[in-house]
Amino acid sequence: MNNQQSLLNWYQLNKRDLPWRNTQNPYLIWLSEIILQQTRVNQGLPYFLKFAQKFPQIESLAAAPEDEVLKLWQGLGYYSRGRNMLKTAQIIVLSNGGKFPDNYHDLLKLKGIGPYTAAAIASFAYNQAVAVLDGNVFRVLSRFYLISEPIQSSFAKKLFNQLANEFLNKDNPALHNQAMMELGALICTPLKPACLECPLQQNCLAFIQNSQLQFPIKLAKAKPKNRFIAYFHFQFNSQIAVFRRPSGGIWEGLYDLPYLESEEKTDANSWFEKGSKKKWYSSNQIIDLVFEKKHILTHQHIYAQFYRINCINKPILNFDESWVEYNQLPKLGVSKLLSSYLELAMAEPK
């Protein structure tokens, strides 16, 4: 039995039963693929179910306000996925009558759809013979063929793309692609690969020389930046001051509290000196540090402090900020960092 056949047999016996595997509906496949970008199945699954339920067809998604999409996306991270998904849904509905492109080339033109996702949709929904290349496939192929090229390089991308397409089972690209990724997720894992259960074991060059853990080769990553942020929870009667985060940084489109920021650790007095020109310093208000948290992102470590300010006089806000009623707060999409604070703050009102 050849490699492709062994792989397919293994897959049929061992695959997980996941909801997006029981459909050829390109919209649902697209939805699942966007959600699963850089995201584990267990983390993305509830979001897929939520979106599929709320927006059963692309038309209902296209009609949704961005704030609603981002609220549903809350907690999943990489929020540009949600924003791009909405834009793409609108384009498909308005300019193509709601019909998804049915091939790799046209799929690739859409916002949020790169080489991986285009190949995934083209093969899963339309059985087009294009190989997917994700983190799993990189790992499987780098071990199988013993490729020492760092997978970040553009040369490696071409090389692996060629290898993946040579390895592709042209008779059943959809199942083959699923099987490659499932193999990477269940057997050919980064740390403890279960090589003894692997259907490709006999021909895997890394296994033969027992060097599985050396692959894939990766370049070192940049060190994350430290940010020290003081958040200010302005409360006036039943309202709180918020703003919608602008484009060009993290959490675009989500809501946030007004804040000050520094590159070094800063204490309460210094924050208020820095903010002395701001509205909260001038009037007699109660200021209280209520919460501290270190929030880890891929490229930055945020050391956040939350100060609560119970305003006696209603401060004038900046142009981009506004007052919202507390009972409207749950409708706004916020970062995990802010939601962890709000959960605490709303549970014990002062």
Partner DNA sequence: AAGACGGGGCG
Partner DNA sequence: CGCCCAGTCTT
Which positions touch DNA (CB under 7 A)? Answer: 18, 20-21, 32-33, 36-43, 75-80, 84, 110-118, 120, 134-136, 139, 152-155, 178, 181-182, 184-185, 190-191, 218-219, 221-222, 225, 248-252, 294-300, 335-337
For residue 303, give the 3-state DSSP assignment: strand
Rounded Cα–Cα distance for residues 126 and 146 (Å): 32
Instruction: Report in angstroms how near the CB of residue 234 gets to DNA at its nearest.
Output: 22
Nearer to DNA, 64 or 113 (CB): 113
Nearer to DNA, 141 or 311 (CB): 141
What stretches of the chain adopt beta strand conformation (E)? 225-236, 239-244, 255-256, 259-262, 286-296, 300-310, 321-325
Q: Are 71 and 333 in contact (CB under 8 A)?
A: yes
Rounded Cα–Cα distance for residues 225 and 215 (Å): 28
Cis preceding-peptide flag for 56 (omega within 30 of 0): no
Please state the φ and ψ torsions of residue 319, each to the nearest 5 degrees. -60, -30
Nearer to DNA, 117 or 212 (CB): 117
Nearer to DNA, 314 or 336 (CB): 336
Q: Is 234 exposed, middle or buried (CB count within 10 Å of its CB: 0-12, 13-18, 19+)?
A: buried
Instruction: Report in angstroms how near the CB of residue 84 gets to DNA at its nearest.
Output: 6
Q: Beta strand pairing status for 321-325 and 239-244?
A: antiparallel
Q: Are 26 and 126 in contact (CB under 8 A)?
A: yes
Torsion angle of the four alpha carbons 201, 204, 209, 211, in this order, in degrees rounded to the nearest 10: -100
Instruction: Report in angstroms how near the CB of residue 283 gets to DNA at its nearest.
Output: 32
Q: Which of 159, 202, 156, 163 is nearest to 180 (CA)?
A: 163
Nearer to DNA, 8 or 311 (CB): 8
Nearer to DNA, 230 or 311 (CB): 230
- Give catalytic residues, as residue numbers: 33
Rounded Cα–Cα distance for residues 65 and 161 (Å): 37
Rounded Cα–Cα distance for residues 315 and 284 (Å): 11
Instruction: Report in angstroms how near the CB of residue 77 gets to DNA at its nearest.
Output: 3
Q: Beta strand pairing status for 225-236 and 300-310?
A: parallel
Tell me how crowded residue 197 is: count the other CB atoms within 10 A of its CB. 11
Q: Are 346 and 329 in contact (CB under 8 A)?
A: yes
Rounded Cα–Cα distance for residues 302 and 294 (Å): 6
Nearer to DNA, 221 or 277 (CB): 221
